[in-house]
């Protein structure tokens, strides 16, 4: 069956039903990366990936399916006082103000509303959420538009996995609000359709996304981890990245002569990473984690035109981590689609490693993140 199996009966959204749910999800950082899709529509990756779900970096999202009597533009809360209008990659110059948000600026074909951190969204981010909600409406047999309100503790689009926590929280909140009772695997498959990495944020701790070959076989599952790990984030830039990971992975796949080599190496990287985890060997894990991420960035840099997320401070941070190893610390770098560097280390050493990094990287924001839990519906 292509899709999510509803455990509960599909139901119409009625006036007296509770059509609203709130869910909270944490970001995850991949140790073995996902970079490239074998199937764009279904978000089937070219490689399996492995990640750690982290505490601290989270998204809380409320989804309310509106009944027929409520109008979207006029519904209370749809545009609460103080909300701004965010104009995104749809082509605006970003200068939209609250007064631009008249009801007729909301697309007829996309009648949902989306507010992220108090900013009403238009254009591509709203369209992406609406398309995702369509998957849920289809399965639940409802047609109601939704009001989606989201709060993040993750800087948006800065390569800190905001789309992972965002779509994991959205999948859980929206499916519950629509009356669907989904298993963890079904939720993971659903979240994957919103953003690939989101399928891993359904679970806490160490998580493997099995690439699979179709919708039913591509999902994440928890992996037992005998080590207590931590990730230290060196925040080099909280600005929205110059190119989305979606676009950058597409360009890398299409034009980089190094991409096939990275994909080939990735299967072996995964085997080595899982063996290192099972043996509680942090150095063996760290070595393959750092190599896998640098290989992914090498493949991006070889794209035409090149995708370079690195800033000068990125190199300084990567060197600082190598220097820590020379001084006997087990600390290993990884990077995603952005300039920030994340450092894998043992939870017990995290304070010490962070303090050594602060000494070497003065003025940089350096935060420790421990293991976080999976998605949960909170209301
Ligand atoms: C570099 O999950 O954001 O963080 O599926 O197109 O939404 P889409 O991509 P996304 O890509 C994440 C890429 C990465 C590596 C990873 O998290 O595995």
Smallest Cα–Cα separation from 281: which of 332, 315, 232? 332
CATH code where residue 219 lies: 3.30.230.10
Contact, 274 vs 280, CB < 8 A?
no
Q: Please work out whether the CB of residue 197 comes within 6 Å of at least one atom of ligand 1.
A: yes
Polymer length of the chain: 379
pTM for the whole structure? 0.87
Q: Is residue 159 part of a domain?
A: yes
C-alpha span between 202 and 187 (Å, rounded) = 7
**227 located within any domain:** yes
Q: Give the number of domains in the chain.
A: 1
Nearest ligand 1 atom to the CA of 194 is 7
71 falls within a domain: no
Per-residue pLDDT of the chain (379 residues; tens, 9 = 90+): 333 333 333 333 333 357 999 999 999 999 999 999 999 999 999 999 999 999 998 999 999 999 764 444 333 333 332 333 333 332 222 222 222 222 323 334 449 999 999 999 999 999 999 999 999 999 999 999 999 999 998 665 555 667 999 999 999 999 999 999 999 999 999 999 999 999 999 999 999 999 999 999 999 999 999 999 999 999 998 887 889 999 999 999 999 999 999 999 999 999 999 999 999 999 999 999 999 999 999 999 999 999 999 999 999 999 999 999 999 999 999 999 999 999 999 999 999 999 999 999 999 999 999 999 999 999 8
DSSP run (H or E) holding 216: none
Domain membership flag for residue 80: no
pLDDT in tens, 216-258: 999 999 999 999 999 999 999 888 788 999 999 999 999 999 9
Crossing angle (nearest 10°) for helices 162-177 and 123-140 = 40
Residue 245 maps to a domain: yes
Contact at 8 Å (CB) between 261 and 267? no
For residue 115, what are the domain limits? 20-66+110-378
Pairing outcome for strands 113-116 and 146-152: parallel
Q: Whose CA is nearest to atom 14 of ligand 1?
A: 336
Classify residue 321: in a domain, yes or no: yes
Query: Closest Cα partner for 202 from 217, 189, 212, 218?
Result: 189
Query: How crowded is the C-beta side of 302, counted as CA atoms within 13 Å?
Result: 15
Instruction: State the pairing for strand pair 146-152/376-377.
Output: unpaired
Is the CB of 165 within 6 Å of ligand 1?
no
Span 263-305, pLDDT tens digits? 999 999 999 999 999 999 999 999 999 999 999 999 999 999 9
The protein residue with its alpha carbon nearest to ligand 1, atom 12, reads: 197
Tokens of 9: 């009966």
CA–CA distance, 110 with 172 (Å, rounded to integer): 21
Q: Tell me how far apart the alpha carbons of residues 283 and 162 are, in angstroms, rounded to a whole number.
A: 28
Task: Establish if 93 belongs to a structural domain.
Answer: no
Q: Kindly state whether residue 14 falls inside one of the protein's structural domains.
A: no
């Amino acid at each position: 069956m292509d899709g999510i199996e509803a455990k509960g009966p599909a139901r119409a959204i009625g006036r007296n039903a509770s059509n609203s749910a709130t869910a909270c999800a944490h970001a995850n950082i991949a140790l073995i990366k996902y970079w490239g899709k074998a199937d764009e529509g279904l978000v089937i990756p070219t490689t399996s990936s492995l990640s750690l779900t982290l505490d601290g970096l989270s998204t809380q999202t409320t989804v309310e399916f509106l009944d027929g009597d409520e109008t979207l533009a006029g519904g209370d809360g749809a545009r609460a006082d103080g909300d701004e209008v965010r104009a995104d990659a749809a082509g605006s110059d970003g200068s939209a103000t609250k007064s631009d948000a008249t009801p007729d600026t909301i697309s007829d074909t996309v009648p949902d509303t989306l507010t992220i951190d108090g900013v009403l969204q238009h254009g591509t981010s709203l369209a992406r959420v609406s398309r995702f909600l369509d998957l849920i409406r289809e399965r639940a047999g409802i047609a109601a538009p939704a009001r989606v309100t989201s709060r993040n503790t993750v800087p948006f689009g800065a390569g800190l996995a905001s789309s992972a926590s965002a779509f994991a929280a959205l999948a859980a909140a929206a499916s519950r609000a629509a009356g669907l009772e989904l298993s963890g695997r079904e939720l993971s498959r659903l979240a994957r359709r919103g953003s690939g990495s989101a399928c891993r944020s359904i679970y806490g701790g160490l998580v493997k996304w099995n690439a699979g070959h179709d919708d039913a076989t591509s999902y994440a599952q928890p992996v037992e981890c005998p080590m207590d790990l931590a990730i230290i984030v060196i925040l080099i830039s909280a600005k929205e990245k110059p190119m989305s990971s979606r676009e950058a992975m597409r360009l890398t796949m299409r034009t980089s002569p190094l991409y096939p080599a990275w994909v080939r190496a990735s299967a072996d990287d995964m085997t080595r990473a899982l063996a290192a985890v099972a043996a509680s060997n942090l150095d063996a894990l760290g070595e393959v984690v750092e190599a896998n991420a640098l290989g992914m960035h090498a493949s991006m840099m070889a794209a035409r035109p090149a995708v370079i997320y690195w800033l000068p401070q990125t190199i300084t941070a990567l060197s600082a981590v190598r220097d820590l190893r020379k001084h006997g610390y087990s600390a290993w770098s990884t990077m995603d689609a952005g300039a920030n560097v994340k450092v894998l280390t043992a939870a017990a050493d995290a304070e010490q490693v962070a303090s050594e990094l602060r000494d070497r990287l003065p003025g940089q924001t350096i935060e420790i993140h421990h293991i976080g839990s999976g998605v949960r519906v909170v209301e």
